[in-house]
Amino acid sequence: MKRTNVILDEELLEKARRVSGEKTYSATINKALEGMVKRNDFREALKRFQDLAAEGDFFWPGYLEEIRPNAYVVQEQKDKRVSAHEKRVSKKKVVRRGAR
């Protein structure tokens, strides 16, 4: 552990302590730093994944068709237009009998 002196906004530090549920300021700061590092690591991993996926060689040939063989059929059905009278569902008539 490194011991250091820092100047912090007291109100912000107290709000962060309450939100995080930590008992001490040190634990609150450590939790905040850990969260920042995790977010940064995730962003870097996502960027690497996007770069690999953009190259087109990320999945082996036929992988998507093997995993979801009907995925393209479902998409084509969604794109198919339906006329207005086919969309409507007839409503059942509700008979009300006085106030209860």
**What one-character-per-residue DSSP string does 23-43 give?**
SSHHHHHHHHHHHHHHHHHHH
Write down the residue that tokens 């009278």 correspond to: 85
In tens, the pLDDT along 65-90 reads 777 777 665 555 555 666 665 655 66
pTM for the full predicted model: 0.53
The type of residue at 15 is K
Residues 44-63 pLDDT 10s: 999 988 888 777 666 677 77
Most confident of the ranges 20-29, 52-61, 86-95: 20-29
